[in-house]
Amino acid sequence: MTTYHSTRNSEKTLTASQAILQGIAPDGGLYVPDHIPTLDIALDHLPDMTYQELAYDVMKKFFDDFTEEELKHCVNAAYDDKFDDSSIVPLVKAGGNHYLELFHGPTIAFKDMALSILPYLMTTSAKKNGSTKEIVILTATSGDTGKAALDGFADVPNTRIIVFYPKNGVSAIQEKQMVTQKGDNTSVVAIDGNFDDAQTNVKNMFGNADLAARLDAAGFQFSSANSINIGRLIPQVVYYVYAYGQMVKQGAIAAGEPMNVVVPTGNFGNILAAYFAKQMGLPIQKLIIASNENKVLVDFFDTGAYDRNRDFILTTSPSMDILVSSNLERLLYLMADESTEAVQTFMDQLKEIGRYEVTEAMKEKAKDFSADYATEEEVAAQIAALYHADGYVIDPHTAVAAHVANTYVAETDDHTPIIIASTASPYKFPQAVLTAIDPEFSDDSIEEMLDRLRELSGVAFPAAIEELLHAEVRHNTVVASNDMQKSVESILGLN
């Protein structure tokens, strides 16, 4: 059986369902499997498999304490007609690259791919472990996780969800999606800081023993919907395996040939999922990290030094406006030959002085990765160029990846077929997209921007946008970042 332990201490092991239920380890570490299982599906069979079939086959390798019936129920309940494309994740060729459209779920962003299944994994895990406590999903978001988690957990029995987001650090659409969220068990709180402030305070609450005791006495337990939860991360592995099959099906590669993957990333979860797919045996040659001007990851992979002591920049790709990339901790663990002591040291240094530096031997372990970034001007130019050449409209996060992909090919002459993870619908960022395509565009109302984008793209409003246009604001709380715990205590009636 696959067991899980913290990246900071390997002494206590858990089953998959226990790790999913806890979300984050009590010592602040992230749960990792004791091994990366091997993909046992023949590559030439992948093109013929449905997304649901692949999801079961990949996830059963990691979540092997779930019965076949339990896991298939989770998969089939998650990946159904809430996605507006029967393939779940279409693969579209434009501008010489293949775009893996991960935004066809209910909140039109890639987080739906995992957060559609996490509530089912979570509630199944609770039953399997005899938990009678009410699960409180505590989450910080840089824009997309919040809405996808809220949508997934809304009115799920025996759960509550509290989402914190930076008041001035998300797009207008992202904010409206969150503050209009329905559900008697949902709470949305804006903070006056940035995403890193929100994420740090959420992690501190997870590690607060006094708060944990009070939660326990009141019949609650915390869990997470961020990609720090292994139940969020593993479902993301699936779509890279599926994408490979679709590349074979479309004739872009033959079964067994390599592909490169370019992923816009801030918290490192999405590209870590691609790395896990590669470790399982999927022929991914290069994992290319695409950052915006908050390029802490690019600098880390270039130099081996991770340094968050820098200005935090608000960009048109806000889901990547992150300086502390939580999921990098899982890669550090693998780079350090699974030394939990080394990871603990690095994380202590990050907390105390805001930086750490890995050894040359550890850097060598990360040679499968390449990293680059796009400026705001390059992002806008990429959106415009792809639209004017192919009529294909992409959001700013996807544009970061497209620019980095094209730069990578130009600089390396590596023409291995590329998949770009297209992480959000352009409808989620209409102002940035329209301004890029038409520099004369004026700042209109949300409704006018959406109508204009529909004209340009020729793509009908997703259901999420239709619903949003008529939604009523239900959440309007704003707190100082250092009052986040007080807010949680008030919501749960602990004070």
HSE-CB for 111 with a 13 A CA cutoff:
23
Find, among 207, 153, 209, 203, the residue nearest to 183 by Cα: 153
Find, among 307, 305, 304, 306, the residue nearest to 363 by Cα: 304
Q: What does the alpha-carbon distance between residue 267 and residue 111 come to, in Å, rounded to a whole number?
A: 12
Tokens 């025996």 found at: 158
Q: What count of other Cβ atoms lies within 10 Å of the Cβ of residue 482?
A: 12
Q: What does the alpha-carbon distance between residue 323 and residue 43 come to, in Å, rounded to a whole number?
A: 37
Q: What does the alpha-carbon distance between residue 9 and residue 394 come to, in Å, rounded to a whole number?
A: 42
Using only C-alpha atoms, the chain has a radius of gyration, in whole angstroms, of: 21
Asked whether the beta carbons of 39 and 49 are under 8 A apart, the reply is no
Q: Which of 12, 60, 61, 111 is catalytic?
A: 111
Asked whether the beta carbons of 225 and 149 are under 8 A apart, the reply is yes
Q: Is 111 a catalytic residue?
A: yes
Which positions are annotated as active-site residues? 111
